[in-house]
Amino acid sequence: MNIETKTLNIRKPLWIALSDLFLDTELKDYNYLHIAKEMKASGYSLDEIEEVLMLEVFPVCIANLHSVAGEWAGFDEKWVCDSITATKRPNRFRRWMNRRSFYLIKDDWQKVVVKVFSSL
């Protein structure tokens, strides 16, 4: 993926925050608040953030939720960023598959969205 430096500086904190949705643990209110703050700080619209989530973070992090012994303490930030920048955008079939697996993070995603639209 070819992303210019300015965009990377905005995206990296967002990628790292969104990757928490894929941890193999129950998220707490402070986790949702942190993700929501990074979403707001990015300056992106909710639609743009959903695109980042589904096309950039989801393909890299979803395997953790399918793993028997998945990561629960937090992903290595460098790994998240390097993996996303090295991964090609998913093709139409992969996007369809990602949407079918979205149920794995749907409840947490909805809680984050509520935080975005509430007073932080």
Torsion angle, alpha carbons of 109, 112, 116, 120, to 10 = 180
Nearest to 74 by CA among 2, 17, 119: 17
The one-digit pLDDT tens for each residue of the chain (120 residues) are 556 777 888 999 999 999 999 998 889 999 999 999 999 999 999 999 999 999 999 999 988 887 666 656 678 899 999 999 998 777 787 777 777 889 899 999 999 999 988 865
CA 61 to chain centre: 8
The reported pTM is 0.85
Cβ neighbours of residue 80 closer than 8 Å, sequence gap 6 or more: 15, 16, 19, 57, 60, 61
Residue 17 pLDDT: 97
| C-beta atoms surrounding 38 within 10 Å | 20
User: How many domains, the chain?
Assistant: 1
Q: Which domain holds residue 47?
A: 5-117
Residue 118 is predicted with a pLDDT of: 81
Residue 54 has a pLDDT of 92
